[in-house]
Structure formats: structure tokens, C-alpha cells
């Protein structure tokens, strides 16, 4: 489906959101989802939605999640990535859509994430304020001497009252939709 046909089917044009109007005096109009009025893109940037049109993501289209009747999958996306989920799709530690099922899983996921981006000696601990603190050792062989430090850190944000399912497999299309929503959260 071409982008123009796609947008005619799933979107309408309206003025930019107030927060954008306040920053940009001449902000262009925007496309909004007919499903839930969520922002899609600015008028003039329609080609940026080609990846949605190609997959014909037309069902229950929201900002970052939608269903494709063409291939029977729920999709989650952001500007970084897009992925489709169906019955039988899996979720494993390290996946973008993984949401820890317990504090132990959350600590392990934090270490896995930072180790995967090239940090060694990663450690994750629960702080008194409830945040997870992640530390690692830097490799001093990098050419840029300014980044040579012994230990750096990052805060890993989590909600102990809103754990995910950990590792799991989608058994229903509602499960696939949940995976798409989690993926959108993970890559946004």
C-alpha cells in the first residue's frame, strides 16, 4: 500500500499539539490516528511512515502499536526499530520487549543490558531509594583518554508494582499485542 492511501485509511490531519505550537510558531499540521487521536507525523514527513504502510498496519493503530491484517501480527515500533508479534512469539532476557517478572530478574536484566553494550564487570544493586544502580569498569584501551575512568554508573528505572511476565510465549493474540506494547516501551 502506498503511503498516501495508507494515511487516507488510518489518519486525519489536524493542528500540531499545543506543546509544539508553543515552541515553534509555524509548526506544520500533523497526522493523527483515527483510532485514538494519537500523533503520527507532521504533514510533509509522510514518507517516514512507509514502514507502516508497507506492513499495512491499520488495526487499532496507536502511537507505536498497531495490528496488520495483512500478516496477522501485532507490531510495536519507535524511531529506532519495528517488530511484529503473533501466537508463538517468545520473549527472552535481552529482548527489547522483555519485562522482568521479579526484582532478581530486573537486576539480571540490568547487568545483561549494560554487558551487551560493551561494558565489562557490570554490577547491579538495589539502592535505599528503590532505584537500581548499575556500575561497570571501563576499558582503558579506548583512544579517547577523557573516557578512561575506573567505574561509571547508570540508574536503571523500574516499577516494583508493575513487573512484566519475565520470559514467556504468546499463546493468544492479546498476548502478541502485549508483546508489541512492551516492545514499543523498550525501544522508545
The reply to whether 84 and 8 lie within a common domain is yes
3-state class (DSSP) for residue 25: coil
161 belongs to a structural domain: no
The reply to whether 9 and 84 lie within a common domain is yes
34 belongs to a structural domain: yes
Specify the number of domains making up the chain: 2
The reply to whether 107 and 147 lie within a common domain is yes
Rounded Cα–Cα distance for residues 131 and 185 (Å): 19
The reply to whether 52 and 14 lie within a common domain is yes
The reply to whether 123 and 41 lie within a common domain is no
| Alpha helix segments (H runs only) across 41-172 | 50-55, 103-116
The reply to whether 87 and 55 lie within a common domain is yes
37 belongs to a structural domain: yes
The reply to whether 137 and 85 lie within a common domain is no
The reply to whether 70 and 150 lie within a common domain is no
pLDDT (tens digit per residue) in 147-181: 544 444 555 566 667 788 999 999 999 999 999 99
Distances (CA, A) of 118 to 97, 112, 115, 138: 20, 10, 5, 9
98 belongs to a structural domain: no
pLDDT (tens digit per residue) in 52-72: 999 999 999 998 999 999 999
Half-sphere CA count of 43, side-chain side, radius 13 A: 13
33 belongs to a structural domain: yes
Question: Which among 58, 75, 11 has a CA at the least distance from the CA of 39?
Answer: 11
The reply to whether 141 and 65 lie within a common domain is no
Domain that holds residue 124: 103-156
The reply to whether 111 and 88 lie within a common domain is no
pLDDT (tens digit per residue) in 112-127: 776 666 666 677 777 7
Residue 128 — very low, low, confident or very high, per pLDDT cuts 50/70/90?
Answer: confident
Question: What is the pTM (predicted TM-score) of this model?
Answer: 0.77
Amino acid at each position: 500500500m502506498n503511503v498516501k492511501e495508507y494515511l487516507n485509511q488510518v489518519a486525519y490531519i489536524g493542528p500540531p499539539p499545543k506543546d509544539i505550537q508553543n515552541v515553534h510558531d509555524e509548526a506544520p499540521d500533523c497526522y493523527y490516528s483515527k483510532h485514538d487521536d494519537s500523533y503520527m507525523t507532521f504533514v510533509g514527513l509522510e514518507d517516514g511512515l512507509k514502514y507502516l504502510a508497507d506492513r499495512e498496519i491499520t488495526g487499532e493503530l496507536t502511537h507505536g502499536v498497531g495490528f496488520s491484517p495483512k500478516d496477522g501480527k501485532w507490531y510495536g515500533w519507535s524511531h529506532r526499530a519495528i517488530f511484529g508479534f503473533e501466537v508463538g512469539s517468545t520473549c527472552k532476557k535481552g529482548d527489547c520487549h522483555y519485562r522482568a517478572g521479579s526484582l532478581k530478574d530486573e537486576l539480571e536484566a540490568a547487568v545483561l543490558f549494560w554487558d551487551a553494550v560493551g561494558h565489562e564487570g557490570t554490577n547491579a544493586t538495589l539502592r535505599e531509594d528503590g532505584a537500581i544502580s548499575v556500575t561497570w569498569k571501563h576499558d582503558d584501551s579506548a583512544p579517547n583518554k577523557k573516557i578512561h575512568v575506573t567505574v561509571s554508573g547508570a540508574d536503571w528505572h523500574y516499577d516494583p508494582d508493575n513487573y512484566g511476565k519475565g520470559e514467556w510465549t504468546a499463546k493468544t493474540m492479546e498476548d502478541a499485542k502485549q508483546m508489541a506494547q512492551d516492545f514499543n516501551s523498550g525501544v522508545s
